[in-house]
Amino acid sequence: MKVLVIGLGGVTNGGKTTLAEKLKKMLPNCDTISQDDFFKPESEVETDERGFKLYDVLDALYMDEMVTSIRNWMKNPPRSGVVTEPQKTYDNLENTEVYILIVEGFLLYNYEPLNELWSRRYFLTLPYEECKRRRSTRVYQPADTPGYFDGHVWPMYLKYKKEVEENTSNVVYLDGTKSHEELLTFVYSDIMQELKMVME
């Protein structure tokens, strides 16, 4: 049995969830885990002196639980075998049990216990104006307060991105302004190459 754990990290509203869902339909025995499912309840998230809830930091998440969920999946991946969209498969994949987990989230590569699990790491980026525009069209619970994007969300993104650039190797940076199809084609091909190497 072969297991691949793929990270889809990066900027808020960069297209991580959409990409993960599309890949899930195209890859064999593929599951997804979203980091958003590990947020602490609002009452446990710190508030700064400006009244901003500090959601865009590691402390706002149950990171240990996330690592445990991924490790449990790796030990016993569910067998789906379902590929709902046709694609070329490699002959040597046909008879081998391959399981793929796509983990998507905004803070994937800044937590050391997670960094030993990745087979591939992708990081979606957006320029400031486009990210702010997309963020303004989304409804969050709790809702973004005035100034929240500039006061907390964007500065934390830049901080953690810099950490990744300085401390993490083998990260593939993706331009989130590209079309969904372009991003999907690239990442899918890259994962299939990784699968081929795993099989050889």
Give the angle subtended at the CA of 158 by the CAs of 157 and 162, to the nearest 5°: 115
- What pTM did the predictor assign? 0.90
- Helices (runs of H) and strands (runs of E) counted in the chain: 7, 5
Residue 181: inside a domain: yes
- For residues 144-161, give the mean pLDDT: 94
| C-alpha to C-alpha distance for 157 and 31, rounded to whole angstroms | 26
Q: What is the pLDDT of residue 86?
A: 45
Q: Out of 8-22, 77-91, 110-124, which region has the weakest mean confidence (pLDDT)?
A: 77-91
Residue 85: inside a domain: no
Q: What is the pLDDT of residue 196?
A: 87
Catalytic residue (one of 31, 36, 48, 59)? 36
Domain that holds residue 65: 2-79+93-199
Say whether 53 sits in a helix, a strand or coil: strand
The CATH number for 70's domain is 3.40.50.300
Residue 186: inside a domain: yes
Mean pLDDT, all residues of the chain: 90
Residue 86: inside a domain: no
pLDDT digits (tens, 9 = 90+) for 172-192: 999 999 999 999 999 999 999
Share of the chain above pLDDT 70, in %: 92
Domain count, the chain: 1
Whether 36 is a known active-site residue: answer yes
| C-alpha to C-alpha distance for 193 and 79, rounded to whole angstroms | 22
Q: What is the pLDDT of residue 144?
A: 86
